[in-house]
Amino acid sequence: MQKEGFIEALVRPTVRALTPYSSARDEYDGQGNEMIFLDANENPFDSGVNRYPDPHQKSLKKEISRLRGVSPDQILLGNGSDEVLDLLFRVFCEPHSDSVITLPPTYGMYAVLAGINAVENVQIPLTPDFQPDVPGILNRADKHTKIIFLCSPNNPTGNSFEPSRVLSILEGFPGLVVIDEAYIDFSENGGFVPMLKNHPNLVVTQTFSKAFGLAGIRLGICFAAPEIITFLKRVKPPYNVNGLTQERAYTALSNLDKVTREIQEIKAGRTHLHNGLMRIPFVVEVFPTDANFVLVRVDDARLRYSQLMEKGIVVRDRSSQLGCANTLRFTVGTPEENSVLLNTLETLDT
Ligand SMILES: *Cc1c(COP(=O)(O)O)cnc(C)c1O
């Protein structure tokens, strides 16, 4: 179990000593339309975006906190999950000395960010059924290991991790456990946000890029203990979430019916795609999925990939990933797109 003050002890000394930039708008808490703003050297003529955005994204966090059942001080927002993940590296991992653990095959950004931040990426492969190898992970973690990255549902495999395994990692590892839940809204499992209460070393990341249909606005979410959030805020650029993004996300949160409807439709499409793929002669295996994509093993991924490309269908060849030889990843599209994909696959030479 974690000792009092263990979060601060995990933070890089430079960040611990840092005084964050205080923006002009930090002193003004958002009330009062009668105010005259002569503090931030903005252009005074109203265009809808002539003012700096709220650096704390208060209205948006309030809605997200309501949706996910956490308090606003447990939320940090970033320019996509990619920024959130990068902030975690920059706050907790000392370049050239600390390490992280990742579990291939998984999302490529963890390895890229480790490289950018000069942090060793220790890879502990998933088991053959794509679950975390708990003893392998805990045995390999040492005093330099700051973060373990889990992705559930996992990209590119699509499966969720067994909660008991995640729990063993959370309880057996004295650093941070980050669970990337980019695909959580497509999953039948509830996700790990409710476990924040009892696990101060847990960090959950989510995104508006997938189920919410807002990949273009770049908005990522980090849920964690307030102490972790406070350190992340010290390092984030003050206006990292722009005003248009805050507006669009807020609007989406006030129209959740649309999101829910689309998730239902994508899940139905996933079932249709899954069943259809099983009937394609050159499909060797269709992996179970909790996400909005299906990983499929075929006879010859390179051949099938280029045949599909010729027919105007772009998919992802994941064959280079550990344990994913001859696999293609299909994102669930609209019902029409799914039918076109299946019809096209049926016509390919076997
Ligand atoms: C798509 C995806 C994301 C989303 O990243 P954004 O920067 O928020 O768009 C995060 N994690 C995983 C595993 C993903 O597949």
CB atoms within 10 A of CB 62: 14
Q: Are 173 and 138 in contact (CB under 8 A)?
A: yes
Q: Are 95 and 75 in contact (CB under 8 A)?
A: no
Residue 153, preceding bond cis, omega within 30 degrees?
Answer: yes
Instruction: Tell me the angle at which helices 256-278 and 243-253 cross, rounded to the nearest 10 degrees.
Output: 80
* pLDDT reported for residue 1: 57
What phi and psi values does residue 51 have, to the nearest 5 degrees? -95, 150
Angle CA 186–133–168, to nearest 5: 80
| Ligand 1: residue whose CA is nearest its atom 2 | 182
Among the four given CATH numbers 2.20.25.10, 2.60.120.10, 3.40.50.1100, 3.90.1150.10, the one describing domain 257-347: 3.90.1150.10
* pLDDT reported for residue 5: 86
Measured on CA atoms in the order 210, 211, 213, 214, is the torsion positive or negative?
negative
Ligand 1-lining residues (CB < 6 angstroms): 80-82, 107, 151, 155, 180, 182, 207, 209-210, 215, 220
Domain ranges of the chain: 6-254, 257-347
Per-residue pLDDT for the chain (350 aa), expressed as one digit of tens each? 567 789 999 999 999 999 877 777 777 666 666 889 999 999 999 999 999 999 999 999 999 999 999 999 999 999 999 999 999 999 999 999 999 999 999 999 999 999 999 999 999 999 999 999 999 999 999 999 999 999 999 999 999 999 999 999 999 999 999 999 999 999 998 999 999 999 999 999 999 999 999 999 999 999 999 999 999 999 999 999 999 999 999 999 999 999 999 999 999 999 999 999 999 999 999 999 999 999 999 999 999 999 999 999 999 999 999 999 999 999 999 999 999 999 999 999 87
Task: List the structure tokens of 173.
Answer: 């590892």
Among left, alpha and beta (phi > 0; psi -120 to 50; other), residue 304 is alpha
Supply the pTM of this predicted model: 0.96
Alpha-carbon distance of 163 to 165, in angstroms, equals 5
Beta strands in 152-195 (DSSP E): 176-180
Q: Report the greatest alpha carbon distance in the chain.
A: 71
Closest ligand 1 atom, residue 208 Cα = 8
Q: Are 239 and 55 in contact (CB under 8 A)?
A: yes
Alpha-carbon distance of 56 to 253, in angstroms, equals 17
Measured on CA atoms in the order 342, 346, 348, 350, is the torsion positive or negative?
positive
| Ligand 1: residue whose CA is nearest its atom 15 | 155
Q: What are the helix and strand counts (H, E) for the chain?
A: 12, 11
**Mutation test residue for ligand 1: of 109, 179, 206, the one with most atoms within 8 Å of CB:** 109
Same fold, 6-254 and 257-347: no
Closest ligand 1 atom, residue 83 Cα = 7
Among the four given CATH numbers 3.40.640.10, 3.40.50.1370, 3.30.56.10, 2.30.40.10, the one describing domain 6-254: 3.40.640.10
